[in-house]
Amino acid sequence: MVVEPKSGCEGDEYEITIRFATSAIASGETEVEILIRRVGRDGSESEIELEGRLDEVGELLDQVASEGDCVEVRVEPIGEEEELEPVLP
């Protein structure tokens, strides 16, 4: 399936979803899941899942945005009934 980048976007398009447990204390040490979806100018797609700390997210967003690409960020709190699942086995 080919996904077209949004109109007006001259570079690649990144959709970044950040998930964290709502029961966690919002501090730099809060563990988060990060899903990065990239849609290239040619419509190609790639995805990567990462785990990290909340204080590392800003650095990642700065890096992606500094390359002149379009970036959309979503923050999805996870309720107490859901738990973060490990990305790596």
Rounded-to-integer distance, Cα 72 and Cα 59, Å: 15
Alpha-carbon distances of 15 from 2, 3, 28, 70, 86, rounded to whole Å: 16, 13, 22, 8, 21
Helices (H), the chain: 54-66
Mind listing the pLDDT tens digit of every residue in the chain (89 residues)? 344 445 566 778 889 998 887 666 656 678 889 999 998 888 899 999 999 888 888 888 888 877 777 888 888 887 654 555 555 44
Question: Quick count: other Cβ atoms within 10 Å of Cβ 20?
Answer: 20
Instruction: List the domain boundaries for the chain.
Output: 13-74
pLDDT of residue 54: 81
pTM over 0.85: no
pLDDT of residue 45: 93
pLDDT of residue 49: 94
Rounded-to-integer distance, Cα 41 and Cα 37, Å: 13
